[in-house]
Amino acid sequence: MKKLLALVIALVLLFALAVTVAESYGDNSVAEEADVYTSASTTKTVLSGEARAAAVDALVKSSADLATRAEAGAEGYIAPESVNALILSVNPDGSVGLSTISQWKYVTDDAGDQVILELTHGQNALNLSRENAAGSLLLRLDGASYIVHLRVKDADEQAFSQEAYDEGQFNAHYSGAQEQLSSYTITCDATAIEVTYALIF
């Protein structure tokens, strides 16, 4: 029963995300808009104040450093103990794009909270390579599931070249060398953070 409930909650969340960003693809079929942060699931809580600050601190500490192959290969380099996450976006046909990634970094500065993603060419990378595209980052930390809602601010494509690859310019976890795929560095504003203890992913 618990597994069924978790599955239902996950499906509701994914549908709410698709509705939220449908306008990015010019989909005018949705007649009404809902506040997905409160109406999608009563088991989720939007974080603010000290609770959000604590979550941000945990996200920063769990981030990858986005090291290049050259940096990771340098003497004395030690990779941080980062956490894998799921990146969600909306495909052109309205379905949900979902990938497991290791190369994400939560950063804070005077401009606000941002998440930087390193993605190899694929549908999720293409979905999120457009300015103002929307997506979400899902991950588990200390028994809680965090959902970081994203709005793309900038996307930089690095086309493959053997010279650049040999020089170690690509991310240390870049996986597209054999097929000579582009790599994308995508900078997103973190527009909201939700937490749930019921959702399993």
pLDDT tens, position by position, 63-101: 999 999 999 999 999 999 999 999 999 999 999 999 999
Residue 200: predicted pLDDT: 59
In the chain, the N- to C-terminal Cα span, in Å, equals: 16
User: Who's near 93: CB < 8 A, 6+ residues apart?
Assistant: none
User: Which of these, 125, 114, 120, lies nearest to 188 by C-alpha position?
Assistant: 114
Q: Is 177 helix (H, G, I), strand (E, B) or coil?
A: coil
Q: Per-residue confidence at 198, pLDDT binned at 50, 70, 90? A: confident
Out of 3.30.450, 2.170.270, 1.10.150, 2.30.110, select the CATH number for domain 2-196: 2.30.110
